[in-house]
A and B are shown apart, each in its own frame.
Chain A
Amino acid sequence: MSADAIVEVKEVGKTYDGGVEALTGVSLGLPRGRLSTLLGPSGCGKTTLLKIIAGLIPPSSGEVWVKGKKVDGPGPERAFVFQDFALLPWANVLRNVAFGLELRGTPKEQRFEVARKQIAEVGLSSFESSYPHQLSGGMRQRVGLARALAVDADIILMDEPFSSVDEQTRRKFQEELLELLRHKQKTVIFVTHSIEEAAYLSDQIVLLSPRPGTVSKIIHPNIDRGGRDPDEIRRDKNYLDVVDEIWQILKQYI
């Protein structure tokens, strides 16, 4: 785990207008090409932190640096996958996936070509002309993921992407996500409240304590995933130890 940090969070704090302190003194490095999870109980400001990294919310104090540049808004090197999918209800899958490129002014033919490729990668090829309301939750989130991949950002920010997806779909989705990201060498920052999800997916787990959110512990699970069956990983001793270690910390906050 000697990868250099592509995202650096320096002493970030966030106080909302009403005086609610969501985050205080958060400092973190998020390694390039790895999957980092922000994990914590609800109200620990994990989504706030993710949105600050995305440039959607300005921090009240401190700063975020991405690829050596200070963040002052969203940027093309970061793409976001939303908890509620955030798909355009009036546009079909193809247009939704191409939307990021549409905003950048990429010509139609070109952006649809890129979109078709990404749609195929998330396994939705036969649904290109379907509309979001015709798809299941899991399929909608695939569209959200394909849209993030289509803009070819180095960093993919995911805000509880599987929380609106049923358990079976979720497991399959996690496995496919790992495969896809390993293959593409993206840096992923993933917000979740699921301990198992964090332990299963992450190279680095950032545990946040609640109100105001601050880094409680950073765990680097040393789980050998190389070429192993997902069920085997879920029985791995290291995996179970990590789950237990996280639980021991998190249960103090409940």
Chain B
Amino acid sequence: MTLFGKKVPILFSLAIWFIVWELIGQAKLSTIIPPISGVLAAGITILPTAKFSAAVSISLRSFIVGMALALAIGIPLGVVMARVASLGKILGMWVNIFISAPISALVPVLMAVIGIGETTVVITVFLFAVFVIILDTEIGIKQADRSLVEMARCFGARPYQVYTKILFLCALPEILAGVRLGAIRGVKGVVIGQLLIAILGVGELFELYSQHFLMEEFWALVIIVFMFAFAVSESVAFLERRVDYYANTR
């Protein structure tokens, strides 16, 4: 970032936001916006509580199980859709519908069918994450270098070797992009799923804080969830950057 022709660290813009927030909070313009200092203090007090760690552990569990399912089903399905043209056409339509559909609207239906519990949240995470993973994997495999596949066949590659040694690695930049976007959506899935269910994990805390008008705690939790989503996204982005050098030279 440059400001007045000088390089400024990215954190600087965050700092400005926090100052503005603090000023608005101190001015007591709205009860919904408490000063950031109060929010941070609230954050520090809620972090060590048993209720918070219980909420985090159940939310993390839902997220991890849901994401694991999304990866385990999404990547192979994307590969199959790219390699089997007829399946790609049939399923592609559904993937495109679901990727643009508001999945949140389905959560009440899931609650009715599966019940009000962790399973519903896991499935919500799965549904939020899986379609973008399928789509990106499919694109990655479809764009894989034909000539490399030919080369591998020429040097005697067996069909599984074409997948493991060529196609998968060719598609890795796209697959990782899909995983990153899927993970970001997955975090939304946890929060939305739990908010709608309202008796589980972070969602329960959100409900609790907003109903009792504990705005400082509420915002502290928002920031924690933001930071988590950012950390997940950045760690996948780190892997993406490691394969970047060949994504640009394919």
Q: Identify the A interface with B (CB < 8 A).
A: 54-56, 74-76, 78-80, 82, 84, 86, 88-90, 99-100, 102-104, 131-133, 147, 151
Contact = CB atoms under 8 A, between A and B. Distances in A.
A90 B246 contact: yes
Contact of A74 (B154, B166, B243): B154
A151 B155 contact: yes
A84 B246 contact: no
Nearest to A151: B155
B246 A89 contact: yes
Contacts of B155: 74, 79-80, 99-100, 103, 147, 151
A133 B248 CA distance: 9
Interface stretch (B18-26, B105-113, B118-126, B145-153): B145-153
Contacts of A147: 155
Contacts of A76: 156
A86 B246 CA distance: 13
Given A79-B155, A103-B157, A86 B249 contact: no
A91 to B, nearest CB: 9
A151 B152 CA distance: 13
Contacts of B6: none
A86 B169 CA distance: 14
Given A103-B152, A131-B245, A133-B249, A82 B147 contact: yes
Nearest to B155: A100
B161 interface: yes
A71 to B, nearest CB: 12
B7 interface: no
Interface centre among B145, B147, B150, B155 (most CB of A within 10 A): B155
Nearest to B156: A103
B156 A54 contact: no
B250 interface: yes
Given A100-B156, A103-B157, A103-B165, A132 B151 contact: no
Contacts of A133: 245-246, 249
Nearest to B149: A86
Given A74-B155, A151-B155, 12 more contacts: A56-B153, A74-B153, A78-B154, A79-B154, A80-B151, A82-B150, A82-B151, A88-B166, A89-B250, A99-B155, A103-B152, A103-B156
B154 A132 contact: no
Given A82-B147, A103-B161, A89 B154 contact: no
Interface in B48-83: none
B169 A54 contact: no
Contacts of A90: 169, 243, 246
Nearest to B169: A90
B249 A74 contact: no
B143 to A, nearest CB: 13
Nearest to A89: B246
B168 to A, nearest CB: 11
Contacts of B156: 74-76, 100, 103-104
Contacts of B158: 103
Nearest to A88: B148
